[in-house]
Structure 1
Amino acid sequence: MAKQTYSISDLANELDITTRTIRFYEEQGMLSPVRRGQERIYSPKDRVALKLILRGKRIGFSLAECKTLIELYDPKAGNQNQLNIMLQMITERRQHLAQQLLDIQQMQLELDTAEERCLTALKTTLERKTAKAERS
């Protein structure tokens, strides 16, 4: 049975990304297609790596984190090390997002306070102008 391979356009169409995106990940050393002249031939491992990159990006992993996960890909060992590292990354990402959420909530409170002060100052200024106009 022949081993399944993919062209750059096959992967781009399947994953709804541009060929330029695929070439970028190749330039970053995250994909390693075989070359046949100008043609790039991607293996099932490249396809899995690309899917990992895209999934990682969706959940906020950096390219370096995605690269680490790709390097740990080892289906013969059941990907146990890769899965354990990914669980650690997920935990760290959740903690980071929780902190960001707290930071955003704090910023919203500060914006509310600043808005309230501005509105109060504008009201005071308007009342002074109205009182001054009435005295004139």
Structure 2
Amino acid sequence: MKASWATSDGTRKSMLANKRRDTSSELAVRRELHARGLRYRVDFAPLPEFRRKADIVFTRARIAVFIDGCFWHGCPTHATIPKKNVEYWRPKLAANIDRDRDTDLRLSAAGWAVSRFWEHESPIAVANTIHDLVRV
């Protein structure tokens, strides 16, 4: 049996429990958008040849929205580096940030507007911003 990347069973269980989509932050923003009459795609790849998916996508308006987790995407206010297994986490988290920037550049080059928000931002404020972008 292959050894786990996790430093403990508790860490492994915690990490496996993390959701890739439908986080509470995403759901709160989506509820707000839906209540305003906006319709969108969820967990959708704006560029079919490009495997990366946006959390919320407005295909006609060509707007890709990402609700980024503070830990995973390096929030300047809330990001932390775990104290254990630093040699694993530091490059992994840095690669996530690099991938985010690459995704933004590729989508922008293909004519998409990219909006990123942090999970700690107010769902109402995020929905207001998205609503204004879509309705322009």
Q: Structure 1 length as normaliser, TM-score?
A: 0.23
Q: Please state which structure has a larger fraction of its residues in helix.
A: 1
Pick the structure with more strand per residue. 2
Greater relative contact order, per chain length (Cα 8 Å cut-off, separation 6+): 2
Larger Rg belongs to: 1
TM-score of the two chains, using structure 2 as the length reference: 0.23
